[in-house]
């Protein structure tokens, strides 16, 4: 099996500005600028040695670019989700088709799914070591969490539900550095004590990081003080502008899914 790190991404829809909103007021979004920012985001991974696989475009799905919500990957287990917003459930078949293409190319994955009895968005799942913190949010319910636990426990993972009411998804409020430290903007975290260790960051858009490997992380360009905090911890910090996605409650984590 190839060992090059791989991510799934999905290009933004021309209808991006129509995407779902829960906690933010709607502001103008420029689809052209959004595509430029998305390309810059993708380039950050390619420049760090990642293979980038595009899920087929879905112009009819305004939120389709937030591909993380349709899939949770743990080791070789790929769990197709059941999104909490009805408008987003049609995004999953395209992601499933991308998994079939990966399997045809020799990527070893076991595919499971969250059934329609429950709801789960991938943005509510934060993996730290052998623990999966899962947010009980407006998009993820107890049955979705139960089903996810049943899928991942055979892979040695333990699911820990945590409350999420101040932001859309768990990973809108907290993510984790490569050393396992959970980071978040404390005013938007329901229970900072649920995470040990927890590091408070000074800017809302500094909460989200994606591990690029080799001591590097990618994060929003809109959190310069947080970027310096991470650099002081010895990290190579790559910043990318993603303002058009942040206007729709998105962040760097939700624009991709790490497959290996």
Q: Is 57 annotated as a binding residue?
A: no
Check the annotation: does 88 bind a ligand: yes
Asked whether residue 68 is marked as a ligand-binding residue, the answer is yes
Asked whether residue 260 is marked as a ligand-binding residue, the answer is no
The distance in angstroms from the start CA to the end CA of the chain is: 11
Distances (CA, A) of 190 to 164, 168, 184: 6, 12, 10
Q: Are 59 and 18 in contact (CB under 8 A)?
A: no
Query: Residues with Cβ < 8 Å from 228, sequence gap 6 or more?
Result: none
Active site residue 254: yes
The structure tokens listed for 190 are 């329901």
Question: Which of 61, 169, 205, 251 is labelled catalytic?
Answer: 169
Residue 30 annotated as binding?
no
Check whether 10 is labelled as a binding-site residue. Answer: no
Whether residue 48 lies in the annotated active site: no
Q: Which residues pair with 133 in a beta bridge?
A: 126, 160
The one catalytic residue in 61, 119, 251, 254 is 254
CA 46, 121, 29, 58 torsion-angle sign: positive
The answer to whether 16 is annotated as binding is no
Provide the annotated binding site. Answer: 21, 63, 68-69, 88, 139, 248
Active-site residue list = 169, 254
Provide the annotated binding site for substrate. Answer: 21, 63, 68-69, 88, 139, 248
């Amino acid at each position: 099996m190839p060992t090059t790190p791989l991510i799934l991404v999905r290009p933004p829809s021309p209808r991006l500005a129509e995407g779902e909103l829960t906690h933010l007021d709607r502001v103008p979004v420029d689809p052209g600028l959004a595509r430029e920012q998305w390309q810059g985001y993708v380039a950050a991974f390619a420049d760090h040695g990642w293979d980038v696989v595009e899920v087929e475009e879905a112009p009819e799905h305004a939120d389709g670019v937030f591909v993380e919500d349709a899939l949770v990957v743990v080791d070789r287990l790929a769990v197709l989700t059941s999104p909490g917003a009805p408008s987003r459930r049609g995004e999953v078949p395209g992601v499933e088709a991308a998994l079939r293409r990966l399997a045809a190319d020799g990527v070893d994955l076991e595919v499971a799914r969250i059934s329609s009895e429950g709801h789960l968005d991938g943005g509510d799942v934060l993996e730290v070591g052998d623990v999966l913190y899962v947010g009980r949010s407006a998009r993820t319910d107890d049955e979705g969490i139960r089903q996810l636990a049943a899928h991942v426990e055979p892979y040695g993972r333990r699911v820990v539900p945590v409350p999420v009411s101040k932001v859309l998804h768990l990973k809108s409020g907290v993510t984790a550095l490569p050393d396992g430290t959970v980071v978040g903007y404390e005013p938007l975290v329901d229970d900072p004590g649920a995470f040990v260790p927890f590091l408070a960051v000074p800017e809302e858009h500094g909460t989200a990081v994606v591990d690029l490997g080799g001591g590097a992380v990618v994060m929003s360009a809109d959190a310069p003080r947080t970027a310096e905090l991470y650099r002081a911890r010895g990290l190579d910090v790559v910043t990318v502008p993603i303002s058009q996605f942040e206007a729709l409650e998105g962040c760097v984590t939700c624009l991709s899914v790490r497959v290996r």
